[in-house]
Amino acid sequence: MSKALSPERWAFKITNILNAVLGPEHFPINVQEVAKEVSAQLFQDEPITKIEGITIPGFEGALFKDPAGKKGWAIFYNDGFKSRGRVNFTLAHEFGHYLIHRLKYPEGIQCQERDLIRWESELGQVEHQANKFAATLLMPLDDYRKQIPDHETISLDMMDFITERYGVSLLAALLRWIDYTSKRAVLVVSRSGFILWARSSKAALRTQAYFRTATSSPIEISSASLAARPSEFGAEAARLGLNHNSGVWFNEPCEEITVFADQYDFTISIIQLGKDPGYSHYRSEVSSPR
């Protein structure tokens, strides 16, 4: 049964159960209760019997088989997280491993931070699939689009509402949004003045507005950007955003809103561009998408 369903199909299946039992306004999802109840109903011989927080540096979460002679599986998460949304996404990610991957990995899977904060398939299909399941379960696309239509320009106040509604971190909410928005937008994660990774919307990719971080040298962010000037603007001013002239992020004007995320030790920037200019504005050092 678990082999036959994709991550999205598993999420849809559980969403349908929640809609039937709790109604469409069942957010945020209590992943601990859902994981235990659904696993006990669908897989009575090997349910999830334990969900527990532990403190291990660098550890994000894990799915482990119970010791020999005991029935079931256990999910562990880092109980040092300050963000409830980060814990919730971690639990949903590990629940995804249980549903999709436990037959392939009978002893379990352990995940690090990078496995949950980047959703690209370069990290490996196993982690990508668990992230896809978690995002689809916690933030169903039809409901998300009702909150923020795909053509709408976002603000951090809007994203605060989204993170509260779905019980997820800001980064998870933004990654979900960037996947469906019809706006030209780029999500940039940076540290110490250099881009760690970036994600572009489909509309941005079509006009070559992206950063190719996987195969290029480290890309330094502009000293004129909000992300490069935390002490000058401060957290509240950065949240409100700044309009840039051409040449700061791309060779066209844009709006930047930025969050200095202490919980992750990096900076999150959302770059929102205007309508399709009809030609490439992208900087010469990044010539093709990855």
pLDDT per residue as tens digits for the range 6-24: 999 999 999 999 999 999 9
Count of residues for the chain? 290
pLDDT for 133 equals 96
Token match 């039809």: residue? 142
The sign one gets for the Cα dihedral 121, 124, 129, 130 is negative
Which position has the higher pLDDT, 3 or 29?
Answer: 29
Q: Write the burial class of residue 20 (CB in 10 Å: 0-12 exposed, 13-18 middle, 19+ buried).
A: exposed
Question: Which pLDDT score is estimated for 87?
Answer: 92
The rounded percent of the chain whose pLDDT value lies above 70 is 88
The pLDDT of 183-211, averaged and rounded, is 95
**Residue 128 neighbours by CB distance under 10 Å:** 17
Q: Which amino acid is at 288?
A: S
Residue 287 has pLDDT above 60, yes or no: no
What is the band of 122 on the pLDDT scale with cuts at 50, 70, 90?
very low
Q: Give the residue among 229, 278, 281, 235 at the shortest CA–CA distance from 254.
A: 281
Neighbours of 250 (CB within 10 A): 25
**Euclidean distance between CA atoms 131 and 171, whole angstroms:** 13
Residue 2, pLDDT > 60, answer no
Q: With 70 as the cut, is the pLDDT of residue 281 above it?
A: no
Q: How far is CA 114 from CA 29, 99, 126, in A?
A: 23, 21, 13
Q: Check residue 235 and give its pLDDT.
A: 80
The per-residue pLDDT for range 213-268, each reduced to its tens digit, is: 877 788 999 999 999 998 888 788 888 999 999 999 999 999 999 998 766 678 99
Residues 34, 29: Cα–Cα separation, whole Å: 8
Most confident of 91-100, 110-119, 214-223, 269-278: 91-100
Omega of the bond leading into 28 within 30 degrees of 0 (cis): yes
Query: In terms of DSSP bridges, do strands 194-200 and 108-112 run parallel, antiparallel, or are they unpaired?
Result: unpaired
Helix (H) or strand (E) run with residue 187 in it: strand 185-191
Helix (H) or strand (E) holding 60: strand 59-65
- In the chain, % of residues over pLDDT 90: 69
User: For residues 159 and 278, which has the higher predicted lDDT (pLDDT)?
Assistant: 159
- State pLDDT tens for residues 33-75: 999 999 999 999 999 999 999 987 778 899 999 876 678 999 9
Q: Which domains, from first to last, does the chain contain?
A: 7-141 (no CATH), 182-273 (3.30.450)
**pLDDT at residue 137 greater than cutoff 70:** yes
Positive or negative, the CA dihedral 99, 104, 106, 110 is negative
- Residue type present at position 218: P
Q: What is the pLDDT of residue 284?
A: 37
* pLDDT confidence tier of residue 111, bands split at 50, 70 and 90: confident
Q: How far apart are CA 115 and CA 130, in angstroms?
A: 9
What's the pLDDT score for residue 263? 61
Q: Is the pLDDT of residue 91 over 90?
A: yes
Spatial contact of 264 and 117, defined as CB atoms under 8 Å apart: yes
Beta bridge partners of 109: 63
Quote the pLDDT of residue 64: 94
E strand or H helix at 32: helix 31-42
